[in-house]
Structure 1
């Protein structure tokens, strides 16, 4: 299987995803849309992953590549191929499915607990810690099944069309290098200075190997997704 990954920022990269794809025998291509690379055609791959992006994209005039990407997302929903969105990528999918995408009450940054919804089809523990870096959230699209939620974000993800399409607001793919890159280069989510759900830099870096605990969760999620 060949997978296309659409990257929107140099500091929000695939992290563990590309390692997992390679280990499972899948090939992949990363398209750096923020650097001017063109959005790929849907027929050129077997599955599509939309990565996170700076939240400024949600309010700024959309660049041409984002307009093209939105069209690809809509066409992909009508196909029979797997699509996964993470962070901003999940918001694009939710929007294309007619859900409301808007600022949440609070910014959410750091390690927070996610509780699975009773009807959740995701092969994940009933409760698990995940990494968050967002303010924008989305409602549950029609005919979608929820992943579950955290205290600040009731919908942390969903599946649609029997699991062929998955959207995940939180991050299971991130590693220690990715967290350090975000802290060094990325803008904090809007309202971070006042949110009770934003952890200090020292807290985020206090356990360097904490992100390693996400690896088996990512494996379970990606395996379930591609099996669909």
Structure 2
């Protein structure tokens, strides 16, 4: 399996996706957009992982590679390749389909519940409630034909499915403790208090079970999109 990872900043990494890919004996290639790495050909992609980042999906003036990335995402999705987008990655998927990206009414940072939304058809199965990790201040309109799968109190569009093989995750199911510490180290200025913003101590108080559960859910997402 040829897996391409679109990375927007060095400190947002694969997390618990890495061991799953290694179990699949996947061939992993990084496209570090902050270094202007070239994008692959859509035909060469068996699975695309689009990671997060602190920039906005609207920041094309500051990050010109965002425009090319969106066009690439549109082509990969049109080719019906498996795609998982996380946080900024989910927003870029939405933007590539013409959906609007905008500031949410509140930032959501830390461990908060999301709830599944009933949906019909062949969709990713989710438990009724999931306590997951968040770090975002923007949200998005659902792309046309997308199916909403989960919402939170602070942010309506948390998980969506587009077609049979594309999943957008506003939340961070890939998070390990190392990921969380790295986010705090690089983005601590955002921990300014608020109803949906936890402090560093609260974020790092998560138990190993929290991270194990995230890994299980992330595995379910990955196995769903790559299924035959």
Q: Deviations over 1:69-106 (max 9, x none)?
A: 11101211221211121111110111122222110000
Once the two structures are TM-superposed, the CA of residue 220 in structure 1 deviates from its matched residue by 1.0
**Alignment partner, residue 28 of structure 2:** 28
**Alignment partner, residue 174 of structure 2:** 173
Once the two structures are TM-superposed, the CA of residue 60 in structure 1 deviates from its matched residue by 6.2
Once the two structures are TM-superposed, the CA of residue 193 in structure 1 deviates from its matched residue by 2.7
What TM-score results when the alignment is normalised by the length of structure 1? 0.91
- Looking at structure 2, the residues matched to 55 and 147 of structure 1 have their Cα atoms a distance apart, in angstroms, of 25
**Alignment partner, residue 199 of structure 1:** 198
**Alignment partner, residue 218 of structure 1:** 218
Pairing of 1:1-228 with structure 2 (within 5 A) = 1-56=1-56, 58-59=58-59, 61-119=61-119, 121-161=123-163, 163-186=164-187, 188-189=189-190, 193=192, 195-209=194-208, 210-227=210-227
Segments ≥4 residues shifted beyond 6 Å: none
Residues 208, 55 of structure 1: CA spacing in aligned structure 2 closer, same or farther, 3 A cutoff? farther
In structure 2, list runs of 5 or more residues that go unmatched.
Answer: none
| Range that drifts further, 67-76 or 176-185 | 67-76
Does the residue aligned with 2:75 lie in a helix, a strand or coil? helix
Residues 167, 57 of structure 1: CA spacing in aligned structure 2 closer, same or farther, 3 A cutoff? closer
Q: Deviations over 1:21-51 (max 9, x none)?
A: 1112322212221133222222222121111
Q: Deviations over 1:118-139 (max 9, x none)?
A: 1172222111111000010112
Number of aligned residue pairs = 225
Does the residue aligned with 2:20 lie in a helix, a strand or coil? helix
What TM-score results when the alignment is normalised by the length of structure 2? 0.91
Does the residue aligned with 2:130 lie in a helix, a strand or coil? strand
CA RMSD of aligned residues (A): 1.8
Once the two structures are TM-superposed, the CA of residue 212 in structure 1 deviates from its matched residue by 2.4
> Contact 2:139/2:157 (CA < 8 Å) preserved in 1?
yes
Does the residue aligned with 1:84 lie in a helix, a strand or coil? strand
- Looking at structure 2, the residues matched to 9 and 48 of structure 1 have their Cα atoms a distance apart, in angstroms, of 17
